[in-house]
Amino acid sequence: MITTYKAAPDIDVLTSSFPIPGFGFVPINAFVLHGPEPLLVDTGAVVEREEFMTALRSVIDPADLRWIWLTHTDFDHIGALPQLLDENRHLRIITTFAGVGIMSLSAPLPMNRVHLLNPGQQMVVGDRTLTAFRPPAFDNPSTTGFHDSKSGALFSSDCFGALLSAVPESAADLNSDELREGQIFWATVDAPWLHKVDTAAFARELDGIRAIEPTTILSSHLPAAPGAMLDRLLAALGAVPSAQPFAAPDQAALEQMLAELTAGS
Ligand SMILES: [Fe+2]
Ligand SMILES: [Fe+2]
């Protein structure tokens, strides 16, 4: 089920709690930034694309949207993208060269409707200036997040995501230990390369994010987090390189799970 809540007076969150059997829930978020040129950040999961359109219509007429910021091309971010582009001929997509390339393999983006923006570059969208950045953790080379000058919010894509036992509307309502452990677990699954990074260099990356001083952190996979939580979010991420790597269930575990399901039916 996709529900909505406000992260700021002019920012709606569309959120789905996606179950990971045996592990918990991961929120899948998209965001609507209202204003003279309304912007949608990501478009939900492919398996929930119809429901995503219904939820989107509850916060804005999709015909009023002018921009989609595609943080990256994974299946939990591109769900309603083809339909939105079909329905609204004014919509343009902010992405990267890698994003265009990956999309060309499944649902090619019309090149005259693409706006390429690289980390470090800015663009003006209505009354906002958006500054693109590469989050310190990501799972796809097309990834860009951004800082919004108007709200002060930082849109971090998959970075700062967490696996949770339940998904509240504010990260401030999470138990501190659950948040830290859920964040570390998510990062070891989503960005296992973090175990290979130089920790001093990674710490400098995290300092760069701290210097942005966002008012709110809006991750694709965490409830909205007030800026005052940034140090905690960064500290958890900083612990990932030396954390226990994710031990994924193997074939023996799968067969055991299937046997338990059969025995119970
Ligand atoms: Fe991803
Ligand atoms: Fe994602």
Whole-angstrom Cα distance, residue 97 to residue 233?
29
Q: pLDDT at position 263, please?
A: 86
128 CA distance to ligand 1 middle (Å)? 25
Contact 115, 100 (CB under 8 A): no
Contact residues for 175 (Cβ-Cβ < 8 A; gap 6+): none
Contact 208, 149 (CB under 8 A): no
Whole-angstrom Cα distance, residue 170 to residue 224?
5
221-237: per-residue pLDDT in tens? 999 999 999 999 999 99
pLDDT: is 122 or 257 the higher one? 122
2 CA distance to ligand 2 middle (Å)? 16
The pTM of this model reads: 0.97
- pLDDT of 265 strictly over 80: no
Whole-angstrom Cα distance, residue 218 to residue 226?
9
Instruction: Tell me the average pLDDT across 88-94.
Output: 97
- pLDDT of 84 strictly over 70: yes
Token readout for 90 is 């004014």
71 CA distance to ligand 2 middle (Å)? 9
Q: Are strands 39-41 and 24-33 parallel, antiparallel or unpaired?
A: antiparallel
77 CA distance to ligand 2 middle (Å)? 6
- pLDDT of 241 strictly over 90: yes
User: Which 8-state DSSP code applies to residue 169?
Assistant: S
